[in-house]
Amino acid sequence: MRITIVGCGNMGQAYARSFRKYGLVEHEDLLLILRSEGRRGQLEALGRISLSIDMAVGQSDLVILGVKPQDFGGIAAHLSGVLRPEQVVLSIMAGITIPRLQAELGHRTVVRAMPNSPAQIGMGITAYATGAELSMRQTLMVEQLLNSTGRAIHLEHEAHLDPVTALSGSGPAYFFHIVRTMIAAGVELGLPRHVASALVKQTMLGSYHLMEHADRTPEELIKAVMSKGGTTEAAFAEFTASDLDGSLKKGIAAASRRATGLSGS
């Protein structure tokens, strides 16, 4: 298999490293297209490096677009001149729809996906939608590659990718914010920072595994911790008073609207 990755930021690098780690592509069959020489040194062990979109892209079976959505318009014309009909184009750009990809690239076999940052350590989740023109073989190829960075979920409706972007694409940042806030709260209560950090991180890790393995809903797990008149109930009274749930939902909705807005950028 031959793969080109256009744009090697964090996610482009995550794909390159996973594909090489699991032997899905050989060094000489992986082409990495960079904007500048800056990252050549750290990436040339993974694949061949290029600073331009040229005919070499047309030799790949799969072309991954990992540039910023705002930069798509600037590269689309270059790509449209070198793509071959039998190639699959996989976009991980937020908000850029399959019809827009097809129109600006002049190319039909297109996949749109939304990964998240834990893909960098092989624990991500990627939701993806395909154009109707993809064959079953091409779809399975894409899913196999996406699974190398964690887990992949196929979506029947492309419109669901904007909520996915808001929920799991941006989701790690929400999680990190909550962790940061909890650590800060511990420090303000008098704990040394390293103690507060260890307590919060291990609590998050253990809680995830409990939720994953216990045959109970999140609501049931909350009730199991919260005793009447106790400490957890006191905390939740403050969360309710400040509408923490509402704020989280509004933030996620705003992220989804922005993802939709990027399609016209």
The pair of structure tokens assigned to 97 is 């729809």
Average pLDDT, the chain: 92
Residue 57, amino acid: V
Supply the pLDDT for residue 263: 65
pLDDT bracket for residue 230 (50, 70, 90): very high
Residue in the structure block whose two tokens are 């000489």: 28
The Cα-based distances of 105 to 76, 99, 150, 235 in angstroms read 6, 10, 29, 52
Residues 6+ apart with CB under 8 A from 70: 262, 265
d(CA 141, CA 152): 12
- Whether residue 42 has pLDDT greater than 80: no
Strands (E), 107-224: 110-114, 124-130, 150-154
Give the helix, strand, coil percentages of the chain, each rounded to 5: 60, 15, 30
Question: CB 196: neighbour CB atoms within 10 A?
Answer: 19
- For residue 264, give the 3-state DSSP assignment: coil
Kindly list the strands in the beta sheet with 124-130, ordered across the sheet, starting from the edge strand earlier in the chain. Answer: 48-50, 30-33, 3-6, 62-65, 88-91, 110-114, 124-130, 150-154
Query: What domains are there in the chain, each with its CATH number?
Result: 3-158 (3.40.50.720), 171-262 (1.10.3730.10)
Most confident of 98-102, 200-204, 260-264: 200-204
pLDDT tops 90 at residue 51: no
Residue 191 has pLDDT above 50, yes or no: yes
Task: Give the pLDDT mean for 195-205.
Answer: 97
117-130 burial, b at 16+ Cβ within 10 Å, e below that, comes to bbbbebebbbbbbb
Q: Which range, 127-136, 186-195, 252-261, is most confident?
A: 186-195
pLDDT digit string (tens) for 126-139? 999 998 889 899 99
Beta strand extents in 143-236 (DSSP E only): 150-154
Helix (H, G, I), strand (E, B) or coil at 124: strand
Helices (H), 87-170: 98-105, 136-147, 161-164
- Overall size of the chain counted in residues: 265
